């Protein structure tokens, strides 16, 4: 496989503390366009904090975060919210579907928030159900879905707006091994098909093995052996 060359997401010497407790202590990470990177590390190491900083959810105390040549950490909350809505997709451990909405309405949500017309948004959302093995589940609510089905609906919601980056934080953490593998198979295949860059946080080696590259976060820093720009 030929390594992609253009950097898309980058953290440079990022530091972040919660109260007086350091979470990131000068973290560096560069992710190329189209690359799938797994961030690993023990509980409390700072891996999720790094992901949330890269995604503009958290603002570091110092250092820089870049996306596609644009400085993210200096943007205001409104600009960062727009960036997350328009260019980023998110999958979390428990899916976080809106229980009052049907599956197709959950998938369409990013398009509706982006001021898309309801009919067109729902039609685009439905197109993902066959791709992810969810045919016939469009009108079900989250309580009527299995864990694996709900997580695939969450994946469809993350990808429906065709984001530049998919941020996945422990996407199989609430699933059994077999269901987790099925979700990862779908996630990786769809990301490859769409050309989506993936930044994946996990503590499970079998999940990290799906990635092109693994980095290790310990005590708020990224392992020097795992950091480096992708050659151009």
| Each residue's pLDDT tens digit, 77-92 | 999 999 998 999 999 8
Using alpha carbons only, give the angle 203, 91, 29 rounded to the nearest 5 degrees: 60
Instruction: State how far the alpha carbon of 84 is from the alpha carbons of 11, 90, 212, in Å.
Output: 16, 9, 24
Q: Is the pLDDT of residue 227 over 60?
A: no
Boundaries of every domain in the chain = 7-226
**E-strand spans in the chain?**
7-18, 21-32, 36-40, 62-67, 70-71, 88-91, 165-169, 197-201, 213-218, 221-222
Quote the pLDDT of residue 4: 45
Write the pLDDT tens digit of every residue in 92-137.
887 689 999 999 999 999 999 877 789 999 999 999 999 888 999 9
Write the pLDDT tens digit of every residue in 160-217.
999 999 999 999 988 899 989 998 999 999 999 999 999 999 999 999 999 999 999 9
pTM exceeds 0.85, yes or no: yes
Query: Mean pLDDT of all residues in the chain?
Result: 90
Q: Is 67 helix (H, G, I), strand (E, B) or coil?
A: strand
Quote the pLDDT of residue 149: 93
Using alpha carbons only, give the angle 154, 94, 35 rounded to the nearest 5 degrees: 60
* DSSP tag of 42: -
Name the CATH code of domain 7-226 (choices 3.90.79.10, 3.30.70.270, 3.40.50.300, 3.40.50.2300): 3.40.50.300
């Amino acid at each position: 496989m030929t390594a992609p060359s253009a950097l898309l997401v980058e953290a440079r010497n990022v530091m972040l503390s919660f109260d007086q407790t350091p979470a990131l202590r000068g973290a560096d990470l560069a992710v190329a366009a189209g690359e799938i990177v797994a961030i690993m590390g023990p509980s409390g190491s700072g891996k999720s904090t790094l992901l949330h900083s890269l995604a503009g959810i958290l603002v570091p105390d110092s250092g820089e975060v870049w996306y596609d040549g644009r400085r993210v950490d200096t943007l205001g909350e409104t600009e960062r919210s727009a960036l997350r809505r328009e260019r980023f997709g998110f999958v979390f451990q428990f899916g976080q579907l809106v229980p009052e909405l049907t599956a197709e309405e959950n998938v369409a949500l990013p398009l509706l928030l982006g001021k898309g017309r309801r009919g067109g948004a729902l039609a685009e959302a439905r197109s993902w159900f066959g791709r992810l093995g969810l045919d016939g589940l469009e009108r079900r609510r989250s309580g009527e879905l299995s864990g694996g089905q709900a997580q695939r609906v969450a994946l469809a919601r993350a990808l429906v707006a065709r984001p530049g980056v998919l941020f996945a934080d422990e996407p199989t953490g609430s699933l059994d091994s077999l269901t987790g593998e099925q979700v990862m198979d779908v996630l990786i295949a769809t990301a490859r098909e769409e050309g989506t860059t993936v930044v994946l946080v996990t503590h499970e080696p079998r999940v990290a093995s799906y990635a092109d590259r693994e980095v290790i976060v310990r005590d708020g820093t990224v392992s020097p052996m795992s950091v480096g720009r992708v050659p151009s």
